[in-house]
Amino acid sequence: MDGREDCFLCGATWRKGAFAELGLAGPKGAANGPRAVKIGFLGGSFDPVHFGHLLAAQDAYEQCGLDRLFLVPAAQAPLKSSEVQSSADDRLAMLRAAVEWDQRFEISDYELRKGGISYTIDSARYFRGLFPHDELYWIIGGDQLPKLHLWRDIAELATLVEFIFLERPGYPVKPREDIPGLRLRRCDGHLLAVSSTELRERARRRLSLDYFVPHKAIVYIRGKALYLDRP
């Protein structure tokens, strides 16, 4: 097996086919450099990954001046037991196919290896342990802000990461002020109305995924006949 497959088994973070063991290596510079590294994290089911995910990652990366950005596929999102239909291996492979060419983005399989429900607080504790001296940013959609007070251990989470929220044109968001220590950074997001649920249905009906999903991920979906047997 190649290095990218090894990544899933041993729990490294992956970047263009290479390892970043325990998240400490990689061409973006180590976390113990001369200045704090600005590291962003974008979680999701990525089932399948689509251009909405990648535009959000790019918007945050560019507008907030991030040095590194990790895509973090969830084993199972809280309160969304039916959100994941593909296996962890398939979702990881689709992500790799989608971004393997892009030096800006990395992939962490931490939540997939951990299994169970993927609570952000668990991941934030893990990444803070890996990057104790750096600036960590958790990227969310603006529609998640009204529910942020319901997130597990949100008070502790607010001490571990700063939140970047994407605000879409025409959909202004009122930041929360009732969570002590909460740090928010606004990011202009693109208005792209696409969902993984819709794309799974398109695949099931054998409609085109072009212009919604990166081409290499589409090739993988077709090759594995994903989503064809699910309503």
Edge-to-edge strand ranges of the sheet holding 184-188: 18-20, 13-15, 105-108, 68-73, 38-44, 135-141, 162-167, 184-188
Fill in the amino acid letter for 85: Q
pLDDT at 11: 39
Q: Find the range with the poorest average confidence among 27-31, 55-59, 86-90, 160-164.
A: 27-31
Position 32 pLDDT exceeds 80: no
- pTM for the full model? 0.84
CB under 8 Å, gap of 24 or more: what pairs does 79-88 form? 80/45, 83/45, 83/47, 83/196, 83/197, 84/45, 84/47, 85/47, 85/200, 85/227, 85/230, 86/47, 86/48, 86/226, 86/227, 88/8, 88/112
pLDDT at 2: 35
- What is the band of 230 on the pLDDT scale with cuts at 50, 70, 90? low
Report residue 135 as tokens: 């600036």
pLDDT at 134: 98
pLDDT at 199: 97
pLDDT at 70: 98
Share of the chain above pLDDT 90, in %: 70
Q: Are strands 13-15 and 18-20 parallel, antiparallel or unpaired?
A: antiparallel
Q: What is the mean pLDDT of residues 163-192?
A: 86
Q: What is the mean pLDDT of residues 139-156?
A: 93
Please give the C-alpha separations between residue 64 and each of 68, 166, 189, in angstroms, as whole numbers. 11, 11, 12
Spatial distance between the Cα atoms of 115 and 230, rounded to a whole number of angstroms: 22
Ordered domains of the chain (ranges, CATH): 3-192 (3.40.50.620)
- What is the band of 1 on the pLDDT scale with cuts at 50, 70, 90? very low
Please indicate whether residue 218 or residue 3 has the higher confidence score (pLDDT). 218
Q: What is the mean pLDDT of residues 71-97?
A: 89
Instruction: Specify whether the CB–CB gap between 166 and 191 falls below 8 A.
Output: no
- What is the band of 118 on the pLDDT scale with cuts at 50, 70, 90? very high
Q: What is the mean pLDDT of residues 136-154?
A: 93
Please give the C-alpha separations between residue 228 and each of 50, 86, 92, 103, 221, in angstroms, as whole numbers. 18, 11, 19, 32, 10
Position 13 pLDDT exceeds 90: no
Please indicate whether residue 32 or residue 78 has the higher confidence score (pLDDT). 78
